[in-house]
A and B are shown apart, each in its own frame.
Chain A
């Protein structure tokens, strides 16, 4: 049965635990926190695959591009948000944080203004 942990039929899974055994609280997926970094405005950042392997056969430009840390797409970011707990979504103020200036979008309200609902009496 599922309650029998020592049984070899129960294999470890990578899906999200919504209710942990000990405390009954959701758990974040460690695979996500190890590979991605969340910025306060909702986007997740990742490194590029292949940035440390077979570099001898890759051109200078390709290596430069592989070294960059890139955004995840909207659906990816939304998915990753669901896979972690609120602990990873809190705003943090670190000393000498290199990501500090990137936690906020600039001129965002001008480019994407919040549409106020029209008043229909």
Chain B
């Protein structure tokens, strides 16, 4: 990743994670050509990007979707006939549009390819099915309970907080009572050791019709645990339609399974194993970020120490330090070469001077800059104090 041999004489040893493209520029250039050096530093090592194969050329593992295009001639005729009455109703605010009708029409005409497109964008087919795709034939409706009057639905990649997904969701979909279904909830991004494996959060097999309670719970619900510092993780619900009753004993995990090894899962392998009997029919997914409640999942449920990560950003490029910098503003020059952690430590020390653990935090003044500036302060500190008062730049952590 980091080719220090190439750029050793640029003396960027003090910084980690340097990404440099193969040199096309001569490195023996003077300080006056600073912008070229900055470009060189900012270049990311180019891995040749594989071109994505378009959807149409890949294998469709789901049910065929019959595209229903409305007859435009008929549509125009109906519009012409009803235009007058609809317009009048609209102007008198009496026009009511049935939302159910509209959503049903959307589902018939555009729903499945739209959802497939979104899932493709989120890389779900790439990560779960190794590039095979499917059009959802069933409107899978996943809903987490928020409170008495409200629900948290799962659509295609919406963000949901970790403390709201602790309990298993309510799942509904239109189906025959005689048909059998399998539901899987996986997390492709959470795996702690492997890059190509997922964690199985929930699996129910042989579901008769709509009734999840009557299905075989092969793996009990484990709340999502997106790791600290890793950003948003995807959590995918996939509904498979079964041709017949399948014997899932090989997939059965022990009750209240907390072993992450046992929960390691690969959707592609699972699907390959039962390829003849199941077809993917519904998909829904959401994103979740780290929250303090995730710690409770690790401590209480998984019974392990909670891992936390920190993203180390590549440091910004600055020219080589000089022993005698010359006529430069001293505080700005020296601040450039400070470690980020040192700056954070200084801010933290300032914050600790004002904190009193036995008293509540005083409210922030509404107009912080109204206070008169002490005339004896040196001119170079004045701008810094302004940032301090307004809690801007690195002083945001003073809060």
Q: Is A108 an interface residue (CB 8 A)?
A: yes
- Contact call A67/B325, Cβ cutoff below 8 A: no
- By CB atoms of chain A within 10 A, which of B379, B381, B382 has the most? B379
- Contact call B378/A98, Cβ cutoff below 8 A: yes
Which chain A residues border B325 with CB–CB below 8 Å? 43, 71
In Å, the complex CA distance between A106 and B338 comes to 6
In Å, the complex CA distance between A102 and B324 comes to 14
Q: Is A62 an interface residue (CB 8 A)?
A: no
- Contact call A51/B326, Cβ cutoff below 8 A: no
Nearest CB of B to A73, in Å:
6
- Contact call B379/A69, Cβ cutoff below 8 A: yes
Which chain A residues border B331 with CB–CB below 8 Å? 69, 102
- Contact call A68/B380, Cβ cutoff below 8 A: yes
Nearest-neighbor residue (CB-CB) of A66 within chain B: B379
Q: Is A114 an interface residue (CB 8 A)?
A: no
Which of the residues B321, B324, B380 comes within 8 Å of A71, measured between beta carbons?
Answer: B324
Contact A77:B14 (CB < 8 A) given known A45-B330, A67-B379: no
Main secondary structure of the interface of B (DSSP, over half): loop
Q: Is A35 an interface residue (CB 8 A)?
A: no
Contact A106:B334 (CB < 8 A) given known A101-B346, A111-B11: yes
- Contact call A43/B380, Cβ cutoff below 8 A: no
- Contact call B321/A69, Cβ cutoff below 8 A: no
Q: Is A94 an interface residue (CB 8 A)?
A: no
- Contact call B333/A71, Cβ cutoff below 8 A: yes
Which of the residues A73, A101, A108 comes within 8 Å of B326, measured between beta carbons?
Answer: A73
Nearest CB of B to A107, in Å:
5
Nearest-neighbor residue (CB-CB) of A65 within chain B: B329
- Contact call B324/A74, Cβ cutoff below 8 A: yes
Which of the residues B13, B321, B326, B332 comes within 8 Å of A68, measured between beta carbons?
Answer: B332
Nearest CB of B to A41, in Å:
9
Q: Is B96 an interface residue (CB 8 A)?
A: no
Q: Is B337 an interface residue (CB 8 A)?
A: yes
- Contact call A51/B379, Cβ cutoff below 8 A: yes
- Contact call A107/B321, Cβ cutoff below 8 A: yes
Number of interface residues of A (CB under 8 A): 23
Which chain B residues border A73 with CB–CB below 8 Å? 324, 326-327
Q: Is A10 an interface residue (CB 8 A)?
A: no
Q: Is A32 an interface residue (CB 8 A)?
A: no
Q: Is B121 an interface residue (CB 8 A)?
A: no
- Contact call B326/A110, Cβ cutoff below 8 A: no
In Å, the complex CA distance between A105 and B325 comes to 12
In Å, the complex CA distance between A98 and B388 comes to 13
- Contact call A70/B329, Cβ cutoff below 8 A: yes
Which chain A residues border B378 with CB–CB below 8 Å? 69, 98
In Å, the complex CA distance between A110 and B323 comes to 12
Q: Is B47 an interface residue (CB 8 A)?
A: no
Which chain B residues border A108 with CB–CB below 8 Å? 321
Which chain A residues border B11 with CB–CB below 8 Å? 110-111
10 example contacts (A-B, Cβ-Cβ < 8 A) are as follows A43-B330, A47-B379, A71-B326, A71-B333, A73-B324, A98-B378, A98-B381, A106-B338, A106-B342, A111-B320
Question: B interface vs A, CB < 8 Å?
Answer: 11, 13-14, 320-321, 323-334, 337-339, 342, 346, 378-382
Question: A interface vs B, CB < 8 Å?
Answer: 39, 43, 45, 47, 51, 67-71, 73-74, 77, 98, 101-102, 105-108, 110-112
Top 4 nearest A-B pairs (CB, nearest first) are: A68-B329, A74-B324, A67-B379, A107-B14
Besides A70-B328, A111-B14, 5 more A-B contacts (Cβ < 8 Å) are A67-B380, A67-B382, A71-B327, A77-B324, A106-B338
